[in-house]
Amino acid sequence: MRRLVSSGRRLGTLLGLVGLCLLLWILTPHFLTVSNLVNVLEQTSINAVIALGMTFVIISGGIDLSVGSLLALAGVVLATLLHAGVPPPLAAAAALATGFLFGTLNGLAITLGRLPPFIATLGMMSIARGCALVFTEGRPISGFDDGFRSVATARLASIPAPVLVTIVAYGLGQFVLSRTRFGRYTYAMGGNEEATRLSGVNVRLHKTVVYGVSGLASAVAAVLLTARLNSAQPIAGIMYELDAIAATVIGGTSLMGGEGTLTGTLIGALIMGVLRNGLNLLGVSSFLQQIVIGLVIVTAVLVDTTLKSRKA
């Protein structure tokens, strides 16, 4: 029954996305062109990948405010190594390691330091941003060879590489969340941390890794963004944490923890991407766009809580 309701909720979000697309198709002929849709997917990929990590964190009962800063830091590490002549795969691996490491530091501050996730990641948001700025002296690092840039420019059967990366990441994330012990523990500790601990689960370890996963996801987004812009900026990713949280909650993940799905988050990220794109096509000012997006977030969560309270 509950499962039915939760898949009903996901269906609702999906219908919202389809409805939104239909509306934009009626309002503007440019929306439903292949090139525009591919464009939407490409632009959504960055937020979608970050939101993947955020979904793990929120299901575990936490929050990660540092994702935007970790993206910037991983990006400048990547760019510096590329300019130093390190082969792109190695440079990318180093960027991913950086993201995972700093994410793990978040986790340690929360589990060993017993800091609330909000505070620990707020601190990291500032620390990682500062590291990126100090590292680059505040200047962007630009211009990479085509080999690396193909991460953004390559197409497979006319699907852009970033979209493929996103699809693979979600496939992997879905597998981890639904089929592995780590995924099960993520839900369990978000639902009832004490019961999980009393069941013999090493909550500290798994929670720390959850934040590592979030850092890793930010670093993947950093690789995609750096390749697309042909530049890594220490001020990249500002406010990205809010977009990622928005995609996650629009997708039906509860901020209380213990519940949520990656398919929901993916749909949430797509709704935000389609909405931005459509409003741009319609020539709606970016100021007004902010209001619309804010209303969508509030409405999605409002519908969710109303449905839940009626059920209870």
Query: Which residues of this protein are in contact with another protein, per CB under 8 A?
Result: 1-3, 179-182, 184-185, 187-188, 191-192, 194-202, 258-259
The residues, ordered by sequence, that sit 6+ positions from 204 with a Cβ below 8 Å of its Cβ are 111, 112
Count the Cβ atoms, other than its own, within 10 Å of residue 179.
Answer: 10
Contact 48, 247 (CB under 8 A): yes
Q: Nearest distance from residue 178's CB to another protein, in Å?
A: 9
Phi, psi of 2 (to 5 degrees): -65, -40
Contact 47, 162 (CB under 8 A): no
Q: What is the 3-state secondary structure (H, E, C) of 186-211?
A: HHHHHHCHHHHHHCCCCHHHHHHHHH
Q: Nearest distance from residue 59's CB to another protein, in Å?
A: 11
| Residue 187 or 211 having the CB closest to another protein | 187
| Residue 112 or 195 having the CB closest to another protein | 195
Q: Nearest distance from residue 50's CB to another protein, in Å?
A: 24
User: Which of 122, 73, 78 is CA-nearest to residue 102?
Assistant: 73
| Residue 142 or 180 having the CB closest to another protein | 180
Q: Nearest distance from residue 184's CB to another protein, in Å?
A: 6
Structure-derived torsion over alpha carbons of residues 153, 155, 159, 162, reported in degrees to the nearest 10: -40
| Residue 1 or 156 having the CB closest to another protein | 1
Q: Nearest distance from residue 198's CB to another protein, in Å?
A: 5
| Residue 206 or 228 having the CB closest to another protein | 206
